[in-house]
Chain A
Amino acid sequence: MEQKGNLLEIKNLKVSFFTPAGEVKAVDDISYNMGYNEVMGIVGESGSGKSVEAYSVIGLLQNPGKVTGGSIIFEGEDILAYNEEEMRKFRGNKVSMIFQNPMTCLNPVYTIGNQLIEALTCHDKSISKEDARKRSIEMLEKVGINNAEKRMEQYPHEFSGGMRQRAMIAMALICKPKLLIADEPTTALDVTIQAQILEVMKDLQKQENTSIIFITHNLGVVAEMCDKVSVMYAGKIVEQGDVDDIFYKPAHPYTKGLLESMPRLDAVEHERLIPIEGTPIDLLNPPQGCNFGPRCKSCMKICLSKKPPVADLGKGHISACWLHFMKKEEEVK
Chain B
Amino acid sequence: MFSYIVKRILAAIATVLLVMTITFFLMNAIPGSPFLTEKSTPQQIELANEKYGLNEPYIIQLKNYVVNYFKGDLGVSLKMQEGADVGTIIFGQNKFLISIKLGLLSLLTSIILGIPLGCYAAYHRGSWIDGLLRVITTVGVAVPTFVLAAVLLIVFAVKLGWLPTLSGSLDNPLAYIMPVISLAFYDICYIAKLTRTSMLDAINQDYIRTAKAKGVKNKWIVLKHALRNSLIPVVTFLGPLTAGIITGSFVVETTFSIPGLGKYFVESVLNRDYPIIMATTVLLASLVIFMNLVVDIVYKFIDPRITYTSKEA
Please determine whether B213 and A96 come into contact, CB atoms closer than 8 angstroms: yes
Residues of A78-130 at the interface with B, using a CB-CB cut-off of 8 Å, are: 84, 88-93, 96-97, 99, 101, 104-110, 118-119, 122-123
A119 touches B214 (CB 8 A): yes
Which residues from chain A contact B220 at a C-beta distance below 8 Å?
A: 122
A171 within 8 A of B: yes
Closest Cβ–Cβ distance, residue B173 to chain A (whole Å): 38
Chain B, residues 181-216, CB within 8 Å of chain A (1/0): the string is 000000000000000000000000111011111111
B215 lies within 8 A of A90 (CB): yes
Q: Which residues of chain B have C-beta atoms less than 8 A from A118's C-beta? A: 211, 214, 216
**How distant is the Cα of A168 from the Cα of B206 in the complex, in angstroms?**
12
Quick check: B213 and A92 within 8 Å, CB to CB?
A: yes
How far does the alpha carbon of A110 sit from the alpha carbon of B207 in the complex, in Å?
11
Considering the chains assembled together, what is the distance between the CA atoms of A97 and B229 in angstroms? 23
Which of B27-35, B81-89, B279-287, B299-307 is found at the contact surface with chain A? B299-307
Cβ–Cβ contact B305 & A122, under 8 A = no
- Say yes or no: A60-B215 contact (C-beta < 8 A), given A107-B225, A109-B302, A155-B305: no
Residue of A nearest to B225 (CB): A107
How far, in Å, is B206 (CB) from chain A's closest CB? 4
For B214, give its contact among A155, A157, A171 (CB under 8 Å). A171
- Within 8 Å of chain B (Cβ to Cβ): is A258? no
Contact B210 A99 (CB under 8 A): yes
Least CB distance from A57 to B in Å reads 11
CA of A250 to CA of B159, assembled, Å: 86
Q: Which residues of A contact B216 (CB under 8 A)?
A: 88, 92, 118, 122
Inter-chain contacts of B229 with A (CB < 8 A)? 107-109
Contact of A106 among B210, B218, B228 (CB under 8 A): B210
* Contact of A197 with B by CB under 8 A: no
Report whether B215 and A88 are in contact in the complex, using a CB–CB cutoff of 8 Å: yes
Is the CB of B71 closer than 8 A to any CB of chain A? no
Q: Which of B205, B216, B225, B228 has the most CB of A within 10 A?
A: B216
B217 part of interface (Cβ distance < 8 Å) = yes
Contact assessment for A60 and B213 in the assembled complex, using a CB-CB cutoff below 8 Å:
yes
B residues in contact with A104, CB < 8 Å: 205-207
A107 to B213, CA, bound (A): 13
- List A contacts of B224 (CB < 8 A): 110
A96 touches B214 (CB 8 A): yes
Judged by a CB distance under 8 angstroms, whether A58 is at the interface is yes
CB distance from B32 to the nearest CB of A (A): 55
Contact yes or no, A108 B305, CB < 8 A: yes
Contact yes or no, A101 B206, CB < 8 A? yes
Cα–Cα, bound, A99→B206 (Å): 9
Cα of A306 to Cα of B210 in the assembled complex, Å: 41
Q: Are A109 and B303 in contact (CB under 8 A)?
A: yes
Complexed CA–CA distance, A123 and B220 (Å): 13
For the complex, what is the distance from the CA of A101 to the CA of B205, rounded to whole Å?
A: 11
In the complex formed, the residue of A with least CB distance to B206 is: A104
Question: Roughly how many angstroms separate A89 CA and B302 CA in the complex, as a whole number?
Answer: 29
Say yes or no: A60 contacts B209, CB within 8 Å.
yes
List of B residues within 8 angstroms of A157 by Cβ: 304-305
Are B213 and A106 touching (Cβ within 8 A)?
no
- Chain A residues near B207 (CB, 8 Å)? 104-108
Q: Are B212 and A60 in contact (CB under 8 A)?
A: yes
Q: Is there contact, CB below 8 Å, between B210 and A91?
A: no
Contacts of A96 in B (CB 8 A): 213-214
Complex Cα spacing A237 to B194, Å? 45
Residues of B within 8 A of A97 (CB): 213
Closest chain-A Cβ to B37's Cβ sits at a distance in Å of 61
Q: Are B212 and A122 in contact (CB under 8 A)?
A: no
Which residues of chain A from 145 to 182 have a CB within 8 Å of any chain B CB? 155, 157, 168, 171-172
**A89 CB contact (under 8 Å) in B213, B215, B228:** B215
Smallest CB separation, B299 vs chain A (Å)? 11
Q: Is the CB of B215 within 8 A of A123?
A: yes
Count chain A CB atoms within 10 A of each CB in B210, B212, B220, B228 and give the residue with the most.
B210
- Chain A: minimal CB distance from B209 (Å): 7
Q: Across the interface, name the chain A residue whose C-beta is closest to B207.
A: A107
**B residues within 8 A CB of A58?**
213
Which residue, of B205, B207, B229, has the highest number of chain A Cβ atoms within 10 A? B207
**Contact call A92/B209, Cβ cutoff below 8 A:** no
Chain A residues, Cβ within 8 Å of B303: 108-109
Q: Which of B210, B302, B304 contacts A168 (CB 8 A)?
A: B210
CA–CA, A157 to B220, complex, Å?
22
Query: Which residues in A have their C-beta under 8 angstroms from that of B214?
Result: 91-92, 96, 118-119, 122, 171
A122 and B215 contacting across the interface, CB-CB below 8 Å: yes
CB-CB under 8 A from A91, the residues of chain B are: 212-215
Nearest chain B CB to A86 CB, angstrom units? 11
Q: Which residues of B contact A108 (CB under 8 A)?
A: 207, 229, 303-305
Which positions 221-265 of chain A face chain B at CB distance < 8 Å?
Answer: none
Query: Are A99 and B304 in contact (CB-based, < 8 A)?
Result: no
Distance of A110 Cα from B211 Cα, bound (Å)? 12
Residue of A nearest to B126 (CB): A63
Residues in A whose Cβ lies below 8 Å from that of B217: 88, 122
A172 nearest CB across to chain B (Å): 8
- Determine if A109 and B228 form an interchain contact, defined as CB atoms under 8 angstroms apart: yes
Complex CA–CA separation, A114 to B193 (angstroms): 30
A/B interface sample: 15 pairs, CB < 8 A: A88-B217, A88-B218, A92-B214, A92-B215, A104-B205, A107-B207, A108-B229, A108-B305, A109-B229, A109-B302, A109-B305, A110-B224, A155-B305, A168-B210, A172-B213
Contacts beyond the supplied A60-B209, A92-B213, A109-B302: 19 A-B pairs with Cβ under 8 Å: A84-B218, A91-B212, A91-B213, A92-B216, A97-B213, A104-B206, A105-B207, A106-B210, A107-B207, A107-B210, A107-B211, A107-B225, A108-B207, A108-B304, A110-B224, A122-B214, A122-B215, A157-B305, A168-B210
Instruction: Give the 8 A-B residue pairs with the shortest CB-CB distance, closest first.
Output: A92-B215, A104-B206, A92-B214, A107-B207, A91-B215, A97-B213, A119-B214, A155-B304
